[in-house]
């Protein structure tokens, strides 16, 4: 018999917050994945909304490329407010 | 030469308390150790439901029954978090289950002891979940990200397990003499297996050193056992029961309780499969798996049929 596919589970803990990855589980289809996610990951009111996505559809960046992938942001300190020199008497900005 | 470099880099990350994530490079032995440990841990959660499941229908009140059911359901959840953490290391769920059912994989020996009276439910919560918590709290800081995250979730849920068990015993200790005797009898049977849960003495635990260097383990077996005995001895006083170890005595100098020698022959016999309930536990798991086969199959076929229909309609 075929093993049920693996699903990644994302939970929104309350209105106004993002869905956050909670873990994974096996289920025959999306409907069952949501029901199982309810029982596995929200037994204590941890969520008000669930997303599930089959793990095989998740494309991930490669940890070995981490340096090259993220280094464009490394030398752009002017993207941060502290880069700018302003007079002390300026109280609010 | 290049390999040595990668291993050094890996160890440097561990030393700097940087978590290892599934797609990161890791030594084969690190991966293997984690797969073994996490899957054994998962099996323990799953098999651990059986001794308590034995008492659901006979819980003395609805309150106790609801709590016991919720606890056992948590253990199922713990098993599932852990199986998926193990899967991130490249092992398939089905292979782990097959290893459990064939008897190849191990699980905690404590679950191979029978639950004879209601006091056993209290004692399991108090001692077995108590020892598990002691083991699991340092695992929240384990170097492998998915394991550590699963353990954080588990630890949040465990504290009610121990408290519900201790409350059962407190209630019984306020009851009749027969009830008090029942609590003492349960403690007499569970004490030694419970303190064996921390595993062999450090000198007999050859893999421990590497696991400590990799920060999979944070404390040695003997350190955790000592810590458990120190807190449990005090809890026993409040309960008014006697721990069945004539050598248990506070040692002012060490600042710890001294205690007697564990019967390691018995421990290894149970590990080898010769405990009082090994066969029964495995049989129950296999039966549940086999009797659920038609459900798994039906769900698969139903999902395929639905997917086909959706495609035709599109
Ligand atoms: Fe658990
Ligand atoms: Fe527990």
- Per-residue model confidence as pLDDT tens digits over B178-197: 999 999 999 999 999 999 99
Distance from Cα B78 to the centre of ligand 1, integer Å: 5
Nearest to B23 among A3, A39, A60 (CB): A60
Look up residue B20 and give its DSSP letter: B
Residue A11: inside a domain, yes or no? yes
Angle at B293 between CA B288 and CA B294, to 5 degrees: 125
Residue A79 forms part of a structural domain: no
Ligand nearest to the CA of B154: 1
Domain-embedded: residue A69: no
- Residue at A30 is within a domain: yes
How far A89 CA sits from the closest chain B CA (Å)? 42
Whether the CB of B293 is below 8 Å from some CB of chain A: the reply is yes
As for how many domains chain A has, the answer is 1
Stretch 48-77 of chain B: residues touching chain A, C-beta under 8 Å? 70, 73-74, 77
Cβ neighbors of A88 (< 8 A, separation 6 or more) are: none
Judge: B306–A29 Cβ closer than 8 Å, yes or no. yes
In a domain, residue A18? The reply is yes
> What is the rounded CA–CA span in Å between residue B24 and residue A63?
6
Q: Per the CB < 8 Å rule, is B150 touching A23?
A: yes
The minimum CA-CA distance between B94 and chain A, rounded to whole Å, is 7
pLDDT beyond 80 at B2: no
| Residue listed under structure tokens 């108590």 | B130
pTM: 0.94
Q: What is the pLDDT of residues B237-281, one digit of tens each?
A: 999 999 999 999 999 999 999 999 999 999 999 999 999 999 999
pLDDT at B3 over 60: no
Could you tell me if B290 lies within 8 Å of chain A, comparing CB atoms?
A: no
Chain B residues whose CB is inside 8 A of the A24 CB are 84, 87
- Residue B4's pLDDT band (boundaries 50, 70, 90)? low
Per-residue pLDDT of chain A (93 residues; tens, 9 = 90+): 568 999 999 999 999 999 999 999 999 999 999 999 999 999 999 999 999 999 999 999 998 898 899 998 888 999 999 999 999 999 888
The CATH number linked to A53 is 3.10.20.520
Q: State whether residue B299 sits within 8 Å of chain A by CB.
A: yes
Percent of chain B surpassing pLDDT 90: 94
Q: The domain containing residue A50 runs over which residues?
A: 1-58
Contacts for A55 with CB less than 8 Å, ≥ 6 apart: A5, A6, A7, A8, A24
Residues B24-63 have pLDDT tens digits of: 999 999 999 999 999 999 999 999 999 999 999 999 999 9
Using a CB-CB distance cutoff of 8 angstroms, which residues of chain A are in contact with residue B297? 1
B106-112: average pLDDT = 96
Please report the pLDDT score of residue B159 as a whole number: 87
Could you tell me the distance, in angstroms and rounded to a whole number, from the CA of residue B158 to the centre of ligand 2?
A: 5
For position B177, what pLDDT does the model report?
Answer: 98
Residues of chain B above pLDDT 70, percent = 99
The whole-number average pLDDT for the span B9-37 is 96
In a domain, A82, yes or no: no
Site from A8, A11, A29, A47 to mutate, B interface, most B CB atoms within 10 angstroms? A29
What is the DSSP code (8-state) at residue A3? P
pLDDT value of position B128: 98
- Ligand 2 centroid–CA B157 distance in Å is 7
ipTM of the assembly? 0.89
Alpha-helical segments (H) within B204-277: 208-213, 221-239, 264-269
Would you tell me which residues 87-106 of chain B have a C-beta closer than 8 angstroms to some C-beta of chain A? 87, 92-94
Is residue B5 very low, low, confident or very high in pLDDT (cuts 50, 70, 90)?
A: confident
- A81 within some domain: no
Which string of DSSP letters, residue by residue, matches B260-304?
A: ----HHHHHHIIIIISTTHHHHHHHHHHHHHHTHHHHHHHHHHHH
Q: What is the pLDDT of residue B207?
A: 81
pLDDT value at B1 more than 70:
no
Instruction: Decide if A91 is inside a domain.
Output: no
Report the C-alpha gap between A22 and B150 in whole angstroms: 9
Q: Taking Cα atoms as reference points, which of B125, B139, B119, B134 lies closest to residue B74?
A: B125
Mean pLDDT over the full length of chain B: 96
Q: Which residues of B touch A28 (CB under 8 A)?
A: 296, 299-300, 302-303
């Amino acid at each position: 018999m075929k093993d049920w596919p693996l699903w990644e589970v994302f939970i929104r803990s309350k209105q106004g917050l993002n869905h956050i990855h909670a873990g994974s589980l096996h289920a025959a289809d999306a409907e069952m994945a949501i029901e199982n996610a309810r029982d596995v990951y929200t037994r204590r009111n941890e969520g008000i909304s669930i997303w599930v996505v089959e793990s095989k559809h998740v494309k991930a960046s490669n940890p070995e490329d981490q340096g090259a992938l993220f280094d464009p942001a490394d030398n752009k300190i002017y993207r941060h407010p502290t880069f700018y020199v302003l007079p002390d008497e300026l109280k609010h900005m | 030469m290049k390999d040595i470099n990668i291993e050094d880099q890996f160890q440097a990350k561990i030393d700097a308390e940087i978590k290892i994530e599934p797609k990161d490079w890791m030594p084969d032995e690190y991966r293997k150790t984690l797969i073994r440990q996490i899957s054994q841990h998962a099996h323990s959660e799953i098999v651990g439901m059986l001794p308590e499941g034995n008492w659901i229908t006979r819980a003395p009140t609805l309150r106790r029954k609801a709590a016991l059911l919720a606890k056992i359901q948590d253990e199922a959840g713990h098993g599932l978090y852990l199986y998926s953490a193990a899967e991130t290391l490249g092992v398939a769920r089905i292979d782990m289950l097959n290893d459990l059912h064939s008897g190849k994989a191990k699980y905690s020996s404590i679950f191979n002891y029978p639950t004879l009276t209601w006091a056993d439910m209290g004692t399991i919560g108090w001692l077995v979940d108590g020892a598990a918590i002691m083991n699991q709290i340092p695992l929240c800081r384990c170097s492998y990200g998915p394991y550590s995250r699963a353990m954080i979730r588990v630890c949040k849920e465990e504290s009610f397990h121990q408290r519900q068990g201790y409350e059962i015993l407190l209630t019984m200790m306020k009851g009749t003499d027969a009830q008090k005797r029942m609590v003492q009898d349960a403690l007499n049977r569970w004490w030694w297996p419970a303190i064996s849960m921390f595993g062999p003495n450090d000198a007999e635990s050859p893999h421990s050193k590497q696991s400590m260097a990799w920060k999979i383990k944070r404390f040695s077996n003997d350190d955790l056992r000592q810590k458990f005995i120190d807190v449990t001895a005090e809890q026993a006083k409040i309960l008014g029961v006697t721990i069945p170890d004539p050598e248990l005595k506070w040692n002012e100098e060490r600042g710890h309780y001294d205690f007697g020698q564990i019967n390691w022959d018995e421990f290894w016999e149970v590990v080898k499969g010769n405990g009082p309930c090994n066969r029964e536990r495995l049989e129950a798991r296999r039966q549940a798996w086999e009797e659920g086969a038609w459900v798994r199959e039906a769900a698969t076929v139903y999902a395929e049929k639905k997917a086909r229909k959706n495609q035709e309609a599109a």
